[in-house]
Chain A
């Protein structure tokens, strides 16, 4: 009886302990808190500057000498880097960073983009906020006040003066506040590009365009290279698209536009977008655009439901992403299997004057920042820089990319796994990068890539990464109506939406700016800014 009782008690005790064990580790999560620790970066202003005083150190397996900044802590600390970049590359970069600063341990955590916000939100609500994060849509990062103000580090850092012009002039990562605050830095930069298959142009007896081509020339080339009744029995199309041309046109049209939908820093004007949207729709309806994959039209054209215009040798231009070249067209298997001669062109400007000079072009840029709860902001900033725009980080990246024996989980060399481009203008970095990027190419192609890279260094981000309230606008108005589909299938004209869309975009942006940066958020708006955004809301309600 006694044994039975003891066993029963022990069992009940174990069950209770088991249940309670499940609750461990949740302390700190789910309870409102009023502020961070004493050492945390304040939301209103940065804690310190970058002194730019450093020693040069050599690390194992590297010929490059890395800067070791003297104003970094000598204490043993751990920084967590949460990202959706290429994981193997980031881990190798973190190793290099830890060799430069042996007292800093970098804990790298990866999550794919699809689950990124979910996992990040869970980590933060559990009180495990990382120190340095990447982010894709800025609305999530700003509405949850994930990002700390890093203006003083940025402004005092010499390397930030030598970045692609628009990073500072168009305020990429600043969210266009009058105070000049900076919350994000560009981490991954994929320049906008139009790929041209020169073999197709040669087959069709068409002239290869020059690097300073205009938008009108590009559209004409798309039309000229569309031959539906080709003698070889398979139609030729002018454009195979991944990115829509209206996004490209909206930036290429005017140099004062610094964001999608005609965003000029405070307000939107979708007039230019509407022209591009209508032009793209006309190309689609006119039969100049190659069929999309997994459609009946694709099966009818290429004989393969899952076919892709990029390997048919019957498509002249492509609005594919930057990474498609290295990920696909430049891989050894592709070069062996298909007769393609893909070369890059900058997205053309609309006016001849802009096309002749350097001009803005849209680019895919992923951003990153330091979290508001980070306890070592100076060191976190250095880590963020190393992983993103920093010169040393890029030397490290080039070393990693050039070694094709280093592979990802699928056995592919890291160079072929979504390799970004440097956003720094440092010549040494670019020489190294082009060496890696153009390995195995002849001089002519190397020069073409050099010309292209030289002309794409005025990037403008896609809207959701850099404009507050952009996602709300798309979510609740633009995509909810389905404007792209309506214009694409010819049931509506893009110009008809301009007036209403301007009002909506301005309203959502002003609302978001007040929410994120006003009293209830970061509280960094000046009185005049607050009044201006309130007026915008009232005007566009």
Chain B
């Protein structure tokens, strides 16, 4: 029996019928359970994300005084934002410092984490112990302990003459760039301590790479260096992006971050323009900058395709193009054949009158 082809009207009617159809009992139960499991997240997001975000934006538009008898709001509109950008010299200076130091330190942290992860992934004795050692700073550097360690000078490498480096950099570069670079050298240990989580992420990425790829490369005469660039790095691309974003967010939210300190100070400042509203406006401006920075890093890293993938994509594209061409030729042949057939049925052509133009 010949199958009847569905028209557009049939399809529309079917869709309408499907919409009217009620889901089965089992399906309803699954759906309900799904919602139940989502409730905690929704509540959490509403209470701890949406509400604070909305409130902080409302705060940013007001001058707020916290008195023992309640909070006093004075609506300022965009007053806090203009005050911060035009009259507060500290914020803009700290923001520039933050941008420069983050752009400098993120690659260092990510590359360091990758190197350590590769070393920890090797077959060495006491691998677990070394992994623990490298993860330990994640626990140590949290909270005020980091501040205490830094104040004792534990954040810098004592063998490195930071003053000499700072002097040399300062004589070549403008202070706005030289300062963050000098700070980076001064806090090298701290910077490297920030790489504990990234090492773990890279380790998990490294362990997921198919070993047979390395074996195949070795058989083909690939060196370790080539294997790193052709196999390891392309396979870790998504991890690099993840770690970069994680590092930017970590540095941006760190309690040692001068802008976080500035925001905190503004919250409880006696200066009349400051307070919760001013600090909220600062926080909004800062989060916009962080967002832009994360976006920039994501664009740089996510946009990069490796050569192998490019070739594969090109081949797939070519194959698709060929398939499309083939289909087009087939369709044209079918059309021509049908036309000849129709003419033949009408007796317009006989076999001896067939010419090339009929095709």
Q: Quick one: which of A438-469 are within 8 Å of B by CB?
A: 469
| CB-based contact A8/B36 at 8 Å | yes
Q: Is there a chain B Cβ closer than 8 Å to A3's Cβ?
A: no
Q: Quick one: which of A128-154 are within 8 Å of B by CB?
A: 129, 137-146
| CB-based contact B66/A144 at 8 Å | yes
Chain A contacts for B33, CB-based, 8 A: 5, 8
How far does the Cβ of A458 sit from chain B's closest Cβ, in whole Å? 27
Chain B contacts for A178, CB-based, 8 A: none
Q: Is there a chain B Cβ closer than 8 Å to A117's Cβ?
A: yes
| Contact residue among A23, A140, A146, A512 (Cβ-Cβ distance under 8 Å from B68) | A146
Chain A contacts for B37, CB-based, 8 A: 8, 12
Q: Which of B72, B74, B89, B275 is most buried by chain A, counting CB atoms within 10 A of its CB? A: B72
Q: Is there a chain B Cβ closer than 8 Å to A156's Cβ?
A: no
10 A-B pairs with the lowest CB-CB distances in the bound complex, closest first: A33-B70, A139-B270, A140-B270, A373-B68, A15-B40, A129-B68, A117-B268, A145-B67, A121-B268, A371-B68
| Contact residue among B40, B44, B55, B67 (Cβ-Cβ distance under 8 Å from A144) | B67
| Contact residue among A19, A35, A472 (Cβ-Cβ distance under 8 Å from B69) | A35
Q: Is there a chain B Cβ closer than 8 Å to A372's Cβ?
A: yes
| CB-based contact A23/B72 at 8 Å | no
Chain B contacts for A34, CB-based, 8 A: 69-70
Chain B contacts for A471, CB-based, 8 A: 270-271
| CB-based contact A12/B40 at 8 Å | yes
Compute how far the CA of A126 lies from the CA of B290 in the bound complex, rounded to whole angstroms: 29
A16-40 vs B, CB cutoff 8 Å, 1 = contact: the mask equals 1011101100000011111110001
Compute how far the CA of A238 lies from the CA of B352 in the bound complex, rounded to whole angstroms: 127
Q: Which of B47, B48, B65, B272 is most buried by chain A, counting CB atoms within 10 A of its CB? A: B272
| CB-based contact B68/A36 at 8 Å | yes
Chain A contacts for B40, CB-based, 8 A: 12, 15-16, 18-19
Q: Quick one: which of B40-60 are within 8 Å of A by CB?
A: 40, 43-44, 47-48, 55
| CB-based contact A30/B69 at 8 Å | no
Q: Is there a chain B Cβ closer than 8 Å to A476's Cβ?
A: yes
Compute how far the CA of A138 lies from the CA of B68 in the bound complex, rounded to whole angstroms: 16
Compute how far the CA of A142 lies from the CA of B275 in the bound complex, rounded to whole angstroms: 13
A459-500 vs B, CB cutoff 8 Å, 1 = contact: the mask equals 000000000010110011000100000000000000000000
29 contacts between A and B (CB under 8 A): A5-B33, A8-B36, A9-B36, A15-B40, A16-B43, A18-B40, A19-B40, A22-B47, A31-B71, A32-B70, A33-B71, A34-B69, A35-B69, A138-B270, A139-B272, A140-B268, A142-B270, A143-B65, A143-B272, A145-B72, A146-B67, A146-B68, A371-B68, A372-B68, A373-B69, A471-B271, A472-B270, A476-B87, A515-B272
Compute how far the CA of A9 lies from the CA of B37 in the bound complex, rounded to whole angstroms: 8
| CB-based contact B69/A36 at 8 Å | yes
| CB-based contact A20/B69 at 8 Å | no
Q: Is there a chain A Cβ closer than 8 Å to B237's Cβ?
A: no
Q: Is there a chain A Cβ closer than 8 Å to B269's Cβ?
A: yes
A342-363 vs B, CB cutoff 8 Å, 1 = contact: the mask equals 0000000000000000000000
Known: A12-B37, A19-B44, A124-B66. A117 touches B270 (CB 8 A): yes
Q: Is there a chain B Cβ closer than 8 Å to A169's Cβ?
A: no
How many B residues touch A, CB cutoff 8 Å? 31
Compute how far the CA of A374 lies from the CA of B47 in the bound complex, rounded to whole angstroms: 31
Q: What residues make up the interface of A, taking CB atoms closer than 8 Å to B? A: 5, 8-9, 12, 15-16, 18-20, 22-23, 30-36, 40, 117-118, 120-121, 124-125, 129, 137-146, 371-374, 469, 471-472, 475-476, 480, 511-512, 515, 520
In the complex, what residue of chain A is closest to B35 when comparing beta carbons?
A: A12
| CB-based contact A475/B267 at 8 Å | no
Q: Is there a chain A Cβ closer than 8 Å to B39's Cβ?
A: yes
In the complex, what residue of chain A is closest to B144 when comparing beta carbons?
A: A115
Q: Which of A22, A124, A374 is most buried by chain B, counting CB atoms within 10 A of its CB? A: A124
Chain B contacts for A137, CB-based, 8 A: 270
B256-290 vs A, CB cutoff 8 Å, 1 = contact: the mask equals 00000000100111111001100000000000000
Chain B contacts for A511, CB-based, 8 A: 272
Compute how far the CA of A23 lies from the CA of B51 in the bound complex, rounded to whole angstroms: 12
How far does the Cβ of A185 sit from chain B's closest Cβ, in whole Å? 18
How far does the Cβ of B151 sit from chain A's closest Cβ, in whole Å? 12
| Contact residue among B43, B267, B271 (Cβ-Cβ distance under 8 Å from A118) | B267
Compute how far the CA of A144 lies from the CA of B274 in the bound complex, rounded to whole angstroms: 11
In the complex, what residue of chain A is closest to B72 when comparing beta carbons?
A: A32
Compute how far the CA of A520 lies from the CA of B264 in the bound complex, rounded to whole angstroms: 25
Compute how far the CA of A48 lies from the CA of B44 in the bound complex, rounded to whole angstroms: 48
How far does the Cβ of A517 sit from chain B's closest Cβ, in whole Å? 13
Chain A contacts for B36, CB-based, 8 A: 8-9, 12
In the complex, what residue of chain A is closest to B65 when comparing beta carbons?
A: A144
How far does the Cβ of A473 sit from chain B's closest Cβ, in whole Å? 10
| CB-based contact A30/B89 at 8 Å | no
Compute how far the CA of A22 lies from the CA of B267 in the bound complex, rounded to whole angstroms: 23
Chain B contacts for A140, CB-based, 8 A: 268-270
Known: A8-B33, A137-B270, A471-B271. A19 touches B65 (CB 8 A): no
Compute how far the CA of A31 lies from the CA of B89 in the bound complex, rounded to whole angstroms: 32
Chain B contacts for A372, CB-based, 8 A: 67-69
In the complex, what residue of chain B is closest to A464 when comparing beta carbons?
A: B270
In the complex, what residue of chain B is closest to A18 when comparing beta carbons?
A: B40
How far does the Cβ of B44 sit from chain A's closest Cβ, in whole Å? 5
Q: Quick one: which of B58-114 are within 8 Å of A by CB?
A: 65-74, 87, 89
In the complex, what residue of chain B is closest to A373 when comparing beta carbons?
A: B68
Q: Quick one: which of B196-220 are within 8 Å of A by CB?
A: none
Compute how far the CA of A417 lies from the CA of B73 in the bound complex, rounded to whole angstroms: 41
Compute how far the CA of A129 lies from the CA of B68 in the bound complex, rounded to whole angstroms: 6
Compute how far the CA of A306 lies from the CA of B55 in the bound complex, rounded to whole angstroms: 47
In the complex, what residue of chain B is closest to A33 when comparing beta carbons?
A: B70
Chain B contacts for A36, CB-based, 8 A: 68-69
How far does the Cβ of A476 sit from chain B's closest Cβ, in whole Å? 7
How far does the Cβ of B188 sit from chain A's closest Cβ, in whole Å? 21
| CB-based contact A30/B68 at 8 Å | no
Compute how far the CA of A224 lies from the CA of B72 in the bound complex, rounded to whole angstroms: 57
Chain B contacts for A124, CB-based, 8 A: 66-68
Chain B contacts for A141, CB-based, 8 A: 270
How far does the Cβ of A154 sit from chain B's closest Cβ, in whole Å? 20
How far does the Cβ of A33 sit from chain B's closest Cβ, in whole Å? 3
Compute how far the CA of A12 lies from the CA of B275 in the bound complex, rounded to whole angstroms: 39
How far does the Cβ of B87 sit from chain A's closest Cβ, in whole Å? 8
Chain A contacts for B272, CB-based, 8 A: 139, 143, 469, 472, 511-512, 515
Q: Quick one: which of B319-355 are within 8 Å of A by CB?
A: none
In the complex, what residue of chain B is closest to A122 when comparing beta carbons?
A: B268
- Further contacts, 14 of them, CB under 8 A, given A19-B47, A31-B70, A32-B70: A16-B43, A30-B55, A33-B70, A35-B69, A118-B264, A120-B268, A124-B66, A137-B270, A138-B270, A139-B270, A141-B270, A372-B67, A471-B271, A512-B272
In the complex, what residue of chain A is closest to B69 when comparing beta carbons?
A: A36
Chain B contacts for A480, CB-based, 8 A: 89
Chain A contacts for B39, CB-based, 8 A: 12, 16
Compute how far the CA of A195 lies from the CA of B67 in the bound complex, rounded to whole angstroms: 42
Compute how far the CA of A43 lies from the CA of B67 in the bound complex, rounded to whole angstroms: 12
Chain A contacts for B74, CB-based, 8 A: 520
Chain A contacts for B47, CB-based, 8 A: 19, 22-23
Q: Quick one: which of B2-49 are within 8 Å of A by CB?
A: 33, 36-37, 39-40, 43-44, 47-48
In the complex, what residue of chain B is closest to A15 when comparing beta carbons?
A: B40
Chain B contacts for A8, CB-based, 8 A: 33, 36-37
How far does the Cβ of B103 sit from chain A's closest Cβ, in whole Å? 28
